C-alpha cells in the first residue's frame, strides 16, 4: 500500500512506539526518516522521525550496516536534544559489544569524542542525553584510556551538581565500569 507524504507525516506524528510493526517499517522510508530527523524547521517532526529511526534500528539491527555514517553525522551535527537522545542511543549500540560487524574510523571517532565532551559541557543538557553520552565515552575508553580520568571527573561533578535518580544510577554504573577496565 502506497501512502503520500502528508499521510506519512500524520502517521509519524500521531502513532506510538507500540504501533511500530513490520508493516510500519515497510511503509516508511528509512532515508526519509533520517532526512526528517536532521531538519531544523520543525523540531517535533525531527524528534518523531529520530524516535522512529531509533525504534526501527533497535528492532531490526541490520539497518545499522547501511546507515552508521548517517547516525554518526547526525549525532555530531544536531543541536536538538530530543534528536540527540535517540541518536545517542543508536551510537551506544554501534559502540557496544552487541555490534561486532562494523568499526568506526579514526576521523569519526575523533568527531564523536569532541561532540560528546561538548554535550557534557552544556548545562541545559537533559539527563537522558547526558547519561547516554557518558556511556558512549565509556565505550570509547577501551581504545583511549585517557578518557577514564576525564569522564570520572565529569560524572563526579554532575553527581555533585544534580544527582537525579537516573544520573546516580547510570553515573555510578559507568564509574564502576571505567574503574574496572
Q: What is the pLDDT of residues 3-36, one digit of tens each?
A: 456 666 666 666 665 566 566 666 778 898 999 9
Residues 80 and 147 placed together within one structural domain of the fold: no
For residue 46, give its domain range: 1-102
Q: Among the three residues 102, 134, 159, which one is the final residue of a domain in this structure? A: 102
Q: Which cell goes with 143? A: 581504545
Residues 90 and 178 in one domain: no
63-77 vs 81-95: helix axis angle to the nearest 10? 130
Pair (2, 89) in one structural domain: yes
Cβ neighbours, 10 Å, residue 112? 22
Share of the chain above pLDDT 90, in %: 59
Domain boundary among 78, 102, 126: 102
- Statement to judge: residues 47 and 80 lie in one domain: yes
* Same domain for 139 and 79: no
**Looking at the structure, do residues 95 and 124 belong to the same domain, yes or no?**
no
Q: Could you report the per-residue pLDDT of 55-94, keeping only the tens digit for each?
A: 889 988 989 999 999 999 999 999 999 999 999 999 999 9
* 80-99 b/e (C-beta count within 10 Å ≥ 16 → b): bbbbbbbbbbbbbbbbeeee
C-alpha cell of residue 131 = 547519561
pLDDT at 168: 92
Residues 81 and 120 in one domain: no
Answer yes or no: do 161 and 87 share one domain. no
Count of domains in the chain? 2
C-alpha 86/C-alpha 83 separation (Å) is 5
Do 55 and 82 lie in one domain? The reply is: yes
Global pTM reads 0.88
Residues 141 and 83 in one domain: no
DSSP letter assigned to residue 142? T
Amino acid at each position: 500500500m502506497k501512502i503520500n507524504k502528508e499521510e506519512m507525516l500524520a502517521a509519524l506524528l500521531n502513532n506510538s512506539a507500540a504501533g511500530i510493526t513490520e508493516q510500519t517499517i515497510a511503509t516508511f522510508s528509512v532515508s526519509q526518516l533520517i532526512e526528517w530527523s536532521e531538519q531544523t524547521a520543525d523540531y517535533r517532526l525531527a524528534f518523531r522521525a529520530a524516535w522512529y529511526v531509533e525504534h526501527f534500528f533497535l528492532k531490526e539491527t541490520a539497518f545499522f550496516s547501511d546507515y552508521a555514517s548517517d547516525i554518526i553525522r547526525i549525532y555530531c551535527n544536531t543541536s536538538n536534544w530530543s534528536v540527540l537522545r535517540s541518536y545517542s542511543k543508536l551510537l551506544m549500540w554501534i559502540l557496544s559489544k552487541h555490534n561486532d560487524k562494523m568499526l568506526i574510523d579514526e576521523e569519526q571517532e575523533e568527531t564523536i569524542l569532541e561532540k560528546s565532551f561538548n554535550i557534557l559541557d552544556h548545562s541545559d543538557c537533559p539527563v537522558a542525553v547526558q547519561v547516554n553520552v557518558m556511556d558512549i565515552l565509556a565505550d570509547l575508553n577501551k581504545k583511549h584510556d585517557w578518557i577514564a580520568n576525564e569522564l570520572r571527573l565529569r560524572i563526579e561533578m554532575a553527581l555533585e551538581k544534580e544527582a537525579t535518580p537516573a544520573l546516580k544510577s547510570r553515573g555510578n554504573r559507568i564509574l564502576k565500569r571505567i574503574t574496572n577496565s
